[in-house]
Every structure is written in C-alpha cells, then in structure tokens.
Amino acid sequence: MISKVLVANRGEIALRVILACKEMGLKTVAVHSEADRDALHVRYADDDVCIGPAPSRQSYLSISSIIAAAEITGADAIHPGYGFLAENPHFAEIAGECRLTFIGPTPEAIRLMGDKAKAREMAKKAGVPILPGSEGPVKTYADALEVSRQIGFPVILKAAAGGGGRGMRICASEGDLLGAFDTARSEADRAFGSADVYVEKYLERPRHIEIQVFGDTQGRIVSLGERECTIQRRHQKLIEESPSPALTHEMRKRMGEAAIQLCQAVNYVNAGTIEFLFQDGQFYFMEMNTRIQVEHPVTEEVTGIDLVKEQIRVASGLPLTVPNGDFRLRGHAMEFRINAEDPMTFAPHPGRIREFNLPGGPGVRVDTAAYRDYVIPPHYDSLIAKLIVHGADRAESIARGRRALDLFIIEGVKTSIPLHRAILDDPRFISGEISTRYMEEFEW
C-alpha cells in the first residue's frame, strides 16, 4: 500500500490531491518553484522541496528534479495531477524504474492515446465511431488536400500530439488549406516537439461531451457518466456540467459502452476521459485524456465518488469501489472556471489578490489554492478557483450558480466571474440549446 505521495504539480489540483491523501492517512510531499514558495499546497504538505526557478521548464517539467525530490523525502508514489508531466509517458516510465508508484495509467496507454492519430486508429479498430479523416498524419500539403477533397470541406487540421487548441486550424475551403497546413505544423512543432498533423471532417455546430472512465488492475473498467464541456473559448473550457441536457439515458449508455470498448482495447487502468463530438443524434470519438481532468469535481458531485481517492486505491492495486449495475447520476452539477483574466478579451491578469471571499450555502463547493494577499504569478495557468454547484436538477443548479457567483468576491485582479454570471442569464444557455460556437455568438 502507498504510504507517502509526492504531488508533481501546483495550485488547486496539488492541494486537492494533498487533502485526499490526508483523509486516507497518507503522508505527502509538495514540490514547488521559487515563485510558489508561499503556495497553499506547500503549506499543507508534510514535506516540501523547491525544484527550481519560476519557469516551468526548469521546475515543474524537470523530471530529474522531481524524482530526486521523491528520493530524498522517502516518497513511494507520485501523483502527476493534470497538465505539466501528467500525460508524459517518459515520466511515468522513469517513476516505475525508480520503484515509485505512478498514480495514473501505464506509460504504454499514455503513449498510445496521447498520439491523436494513433488514438483515432485504435478507436476505429475498437468499433468506436470516428469522424471521416486521414488514416494517420499527413506529411505534405498535397496529401492534406487529397484527404480534404475526399471527405469534403470544411475540415480541421489537428496536431497529432496536441491539446488545448494548439496546432489546430479550421479550413472552410481549399483556399484556406495551404497557409493553415504550414501554420498548424509549425505551431504543433513548437508546442509539442512534433509537426505531425492529421485531417478530420469539421462539424460546424457540435456539442463537446466527454465520458469519465475508470479502470482497475483486476481488469474492470466502468463509465461514470458524461460531462458536457461545450461552453469554450479558444478550445479552452469555461463551464462544464453533468448530466448533459442533450443526452437521453439510452444515449448516455451507448456513449459509455463505446468509451469502455476503447479502454478495454488498450488495457486502461486508473482515471481517464474519452472526449466525443455530438451532433444530430450521433457521437464521434475525438481524443482521450489519460489523467484526472480539471472538471473532475462535476462527476464527483453527481456520483458521490471521490475520484482522487479512487486513483490512489487503484494505483495501490485495490479494486474499484464503484458498484455494479446500470449507473445513474444524482441531480445536476456545474463547474465554473474562475480565471485571472479580462472577461472581455481573455488576456491574463496576474497580480495580488486584495480581497477574497468565497461563496457558501447548500450545493456549493469551491476548489482553490488562492487566498487574500496571494500573488498570482504570471508564469502558469490563470486558473484561480473552480466553483462547483450541485442541485436536484439543472434549473436548481443554474440558480445556485447565480447565487454563488454573486457572492464570490475577488478584488485586485480581473476575473471571469462577470462572464459566467452573464452566461447564466442567457436564454440560449438556460434552454440548453448550445454548440461549440456558443462563445463566438455570445453578446453581453
């Protein structure tokens, strides 16, 4: 059994893991950059180690520094959180070679599903619906053009090793393709160290729905329902909810079964997420995230399952605690990402938090590592907090979201709170009739 966990991350997810470990009676180690010396995850851990200067490449992305921190503190397990090294198969391999339990999937699964082109191929072999597109990466413009003509415009170019919208370009016609192909490859190479891109049919008004999956070392894999992540800007999620207002129980079951089929094909263990596009009653595999998600609290609220504790149990070799049978969600939950950014332009807005008052009351949860007088550094993601609300149904969830946002006070930096509040009053959002183009068309 794991006894001491090093959390190879920062911010709210590092604190979230540390608190779960404390409830389980496990010791913890926080690693931090020089910019995060006063961070809450450092204060709450049993041990802490500075692993480098502020730039993430010299600290949170330094595998050797993290492994050394585990060795000198006597940690026997590593939780990668999300971002940074969470989906780096080499990191998972090195941890295993150093006899550290990696709290996540196997390096093989991370490597296979981290390559989007290979993941598409695997999904196709497993019988999971995929959008028409190239069989693998397209190496030349001529190849991209040939595939695009076969499947028909509009198409989208995607970085094979990508994520977060980088290395991604939408092409409405042949005229868009030439410049977009070179730009996508160049951006993919800079961001991920691989210029490979593939071509896929572009759906113009889909919804983005993901299935939370979990597998254990005994071979059991379960689906824990969906999260709707359609409200995005620049391919970054803003609001997530579960259940999706677009899915029937039967469709949820079908999507869950498809997600399990894919996980079985790669012998998947631990937490993961299968992302689908959904349009006109059909769903299509998009990608898999081989880690815990930012929005995992949404699933926790509608299932009553602590996903981080489940990760640690499964990594220890224990079976899943999820009951057998047809899984039904309890009530409705939403998560609002509160970012330190201008709500109109989305430009980052780091700085000192002068006032910080959290909302409370029935059905309200806030996951954060921020506090009054905390300085949000400019070096990392702009996330300040995640506001999660839970109600008996979607209407109550929206009402609780309004109440909580009205009571959420952050002064000293600009935040996305006003944007979230405006979205909750928009008739289109209230009706649930949305698509991934929602933010392009949103006016306030």
Active site residues: 291
Backbone angles phi, psi at 429, to 5 degrees: -70, -45
For residues 3 and 26, the answer to whether their CB atoms sit within 8 Å is yes
**Element (DSSP H or E) covering residue 329:** none
Distance CA 230, CA 226 (A): 12
Question: DSSP states of 399-438 as a string?
Answer: HHHHHHHHH-EEESS--SHHHHHHHTT-HHHHHT---TTH
Q: Which stretches within 245-336 are classed as H helix? A: 249-265, 296-303, 307-315
Distance CA 90, CA 147 (A): 33
Strands 155-159 and 197-201: antiparallel
285: which strand partners? 130, 276
| CB-based burial, 114-146: b 16+ in 10 Å, e otherwise | bbbbbbbebbeebebebbebbeebbeeeeebbe
How many Cα atoms are found within 13 Å in the side-chain-facing hemisphere of 218?
10
Q: What is the DSSP letter of 323?
A: P
For residues 239 and 294, the answer to whether their CB atoms sit within 8 Å is no
Q: What residue type is 262 in one-letter code?
A: L
Distance CA 344, CA 292 (A): 29
For residues 48 and 31, the answer to whether their CB atoms sit within 8 Å is yes
Q: What residue type is 95 in one-letter code?
A: A
Strands 169-171 and 221-233: unpaired
